[in-house]
Chains A and B, each alone.
Chain A
Amino acid sequence: MTATALKPTDSTDTRQPLCTKADLVAFSGVAAWLTTSQGAVQIALFYLPGHGNELFALDHQDPFSKAYVIARGIVGDIKGSPVIASPIYKQHFRLEDGQCLEDESVQLRTWRVGFQGDEVWVERE
């Protein structure tokens, strides 16, 4: 799980460049649009320099309030796993797999994401 987890450029279809490193905010999140086979989705991108894969991509929509705000929560870790706390009702979601810690039945979608040079690339499916 390094920054090169993304396959090198063969089929451009499955991957999409999103932004550059300068657009990210260290230890916090930003939001971006991703085009998938189901249409455009809002995703939240978190950048944790020095922690695991460093980049994490999850749904931007908060399943509890339905507002598109996940990227604007506080990043932290609970029992060793990096998490994002929703800014509305404060539930925690694991960055690695989107699992909500307060409610087993809720999970955000996640996407594989990594740097290529200075660019951030996401795998769509």
Chain B
Amino acid sequence: MVNNKMTTPTTSSNTQKLIIVGNGMVGHHFAEQLVESGALAGFEVTIFGEERHRAYDRVHLSEYFSGRDAESLALCDGDYYHTHGIQLRSGEAVTAIDREQQLVVTEQGHYAYDQLVLATGSFPFVPPIPGNDSEGCLVYRTLDDLDAIQAAAKNATNGVVVGGGLLGLEAANALRGLNLDTAVVEFAPRLMPMQVDSEGGELLKEKIEALGVQVLTERATQRIEPGDTSRLRMVFQDDKVLETDLIVFSAGIRPQDTLARACGLTIGERGGVVIDDQCRTNDPNILAIGEVALWNRSIFGLVAPGYQMAKTAVATLTGGDTCFSGADMSTKLKLLGVDVGSIGDAHGNQNPGARMFRYLDPLTQVYRKLVVTSDGKKLLGAMLVGDNSVYDTLLQYYANGIELPKEPASLILPQQSGAAPALGPDSLPETAMICSCHNVTKGSICSAIDAGAADLGSVKGATKASTGCGGCAALLKSVVDHELEARGVEVDKSICEHFAHTRQGLYDIVRVEGIKTFSKLMEKHGNAETHRLGCDICKPAVASILASCFNEPITDAAHVPLQDTNDTFMANMQKNGTYSVVPRIAGGEITPEKLVVLGQVAQKYQLYTKITGGQRIDLFGARLEDLPAIWGELIDAGFETGHAYGKSLRTVKSCVGSTWCRYGVQDSVGMAIQLENRYKGLRAPHKIKFGVSGCTRECAEAQSKDIGIIATENGWNLYVCGNGGMRPRHAELFATDLDDEQLYRTIDRFLMFYVRTADRLQRTSVWRENLEGGLDYLKEVILEDSLGISDELERQMQHVVDSYQCEWANAISDPEKLKRFRSFVNDARPDPSIIMTSERGQPRPA
């Protein structure tokens, strides 16, 4: 296996030959640290990487499935190593180390070293289950693994992930993204056994199941065999079976210590190359860093500690005195859209005498746990499921030993004011760790600012903060903003490079000066140097402001270039370039005649039909050039646009109400239709949804909407600022027992105040959470008219209501506007790149 060719690079006597085995995240960081510290001059460096790609960002590996490629995930430019005179040998694995002769061996040759750095990382553990090597059994670690998963998913309908830890859930999300019916099989009684306890695990399971991922806990797979209905069959301990087309093993990682073992380096009981505080192994010429290294009997499966080891190793080689002294394993993640956070001793089992506080809200599905010292003064650990909003604050208490408030429970209990209990950037000590990936403290941020960094971007550039896992982005921003403000620097809140204004500022300018076009706004208030075309941030934002204020058709020539594609074509673009058509079905009420027309139109234009989550019917797969004809037929049948594409009123969901229901106390359908017709066409910073229920049983789920209305014996209770979606939030009770007129007036004011003051793409829930003064302030403004603007808000809304016209009706009556709906300006034939197949009797993209 050893070949005789000697390819030792020639060296001059005063440089040492340094070989790095492994070109992963940590091996690369080590090389980068060599370059940056200036130490490179003393070495002639060769790096061996088993993978064919040069080092890439494994932490963001999953983004490979959402459009990023190997090049954009790469940790450095293609010529980085070359520029610095480092030899990178990708795709060349080291097969042996000869410590006596100080050589490493590969299939291509032998290479001499003076110093060797092992950065071989780890490999996914595949449990020894018979059949685990069947076709369709895969792992999740490298780009090549992801290619293999993608290929296997092509002809598959379902997939299983074995292992319900962090990486397992990430893999499950990826399978879901590949449109597979996904299940997670976990051996332990709960998901993420390392990070959460049984309550947290149960909640996590519920949340993840709600996303359509099946979760099977306490399942030990006995064997894998060919399946009947799918490619594979998993047989469990109780002889229950699960059929699946592919299996991704994510049952933990093991240090890749094969080379080290073979050459006799000291290895830990459960693997890993033993290192000291200087990252040296028992051979003085060999160092180990990253996930292959075992320090103080621990392996650190995160990138931040690996980076610290890399830094230490550089110091060790150059006579510096940096030591590795362990690392904090606190983590904050969003897995399948569910927040999970774990800080310090989250289970409370490493600190005898520790006391625990727990808070569990089964309605909002939030679980929080604090582990504190017996005197209640210091935070030892914490666990969060369902909401990470207090993570940053808790981490600061923990990491900096800040004394806890008198009642520590206040940190995890819901606040009356609604605002999360934040530890302001002010109260953090200089030593507070802001970015643990790059070891950046508040102190170093302050020094960077004092040295001239005048905005977030330059602070990032100078300190590297927030350029690793990205988890510290929000905290970093608040510290930087705070420090800049403290130094009297005005913090740039510009919407983009074209306007030095916030969205709210632009809104005020447009209203006060009566500016009706983007070009006029740019001319008078755009940034002088960039004074040109605008961009995809300011244009749609201004389009929305103009529409909120003047309500001119968005398809008018002056507004056309401002719109997102969905608004331009008044339909939602699908992944294959076709569009969806969603007519308004106010309150969810539809006549049989109209239902028939929807069916006929769908048949004629070969559209996929689906009942939406918003109580209406979506027709998918419409070709651009067919949209006008489709809408012509729908409008003839009495339909109008549903604005499913706009940042505007979507649906007013209703329950059947007192007309039919034995419990109903008001006509919820009638009210929903009234409201939908009143606010349809209102353009806002983000989409707006309503719900109206006929009694407290709340069948319309009104409390999850931006505006929720629940009938009472005496009228209507109004709830505001609820949200479903990515971060559900319960709406808050705003006013009670309103009559119809009071209800409209209150909603008019509320919505217009939101339109006026919210940031771009900010739902009412997020707006509300950021509103200084909270719900009380909002009530003062809307119900008590504390700002004296109620009349104006109502007038503005009335203008929008009065000037409503169906945008589709407007467009199809104007031949100029219809020209936009040609697929090609020089050919009337349809786009041949759009190919459909059929599934369950309906079309779908091929």
Contact = CB atoms under 8 A, between A and B. Distances in A.
- The answer to whether A and B come from one shared complex is yes
Interface of A: 18-19, 23-28, 30-33, 42, 45, 48, 51, 61, 64-65, 67-69, 72-80, 82-83, 85, 87-90, 92, 102-105
A74 B539 contact: yes
B818 to A, nearest CB: 12
Interface string B433-445: 0000000000000
Given A23-B819, A77-B535, A72 B565 contact: yes
Nearest to B563: A74
Contact of A90 (B536, B569, B575): B536
B575 A88 contact: yes
A41 to B, nearest CB: 11
A42 B824 contact: yes
B126 interface: no
Task: Tell me the interface secondary structure of chain B in the complex.
Answer: loop
B67 A72 contact: no
Contact of A105 (B71, B497, B540, B562): B71
Interface stretch (B261-269, B308-316, B826-834): B826-834
B557, B566, B577, B827 — most chain A CB neighbours (10 Å): B577
A24 B539 CA distance: 20
Contact of A72 (B68, B530, B573): B573
Contacts of B825: 18-19, 23-24, 30-32, 45
A28 B561 contact: yes
B798 interface: no
A90 to B, nearest CB: 7
B635 interface: no
B652 to A, nearest CB: 28
Interface in B808-831: 819-820, 822-827, 831
B820 A25 contact: yes
B67, B71, B561, B566 — most chain A CB neighbours (10 Å): B561
Of all A-B residue pairs in the complex, the 9 with the closest CB atoms, nearest first, are: A76-B535, A87-B565, A27-B561, A67-B577, A85-B536, A105-B71, A19-B825, A74-B536, A23-B825
Contact of B826 (A18, A78, A92, A104): A18
Interface residues of B, number: 39
Interface of B: 67-69, 71-72, 77, 497, 530, 532-536, 539-540, 557, 560-566, 568-569, 573, 575-577, 819-820, 822-827, 831, 833
Contacts of A61: 833
Given A26-B557, A72-B565, A72-B568, A65 B827 contact: no
30 contacts: A19-B826, A23-B826, A25-B820, A30-B820, A31-B824, A31-B825, A32-B826, A32-B827, A33-B826, A42-B824, A51-B533, A65-B67, A67-B575, A69-B565, A74-B535, A74-B540, A74-B562, A74-B563, A75-B561, A77-B532, A77-B534, A77-B535, A80-B532, A82-B532, A82-B533, A83-B535, A85-B535, A87-B564, A90-B536, A103-B69
Given A26-B557, A74-B561, A69 B530 contact: no
A89 B833 contact: no
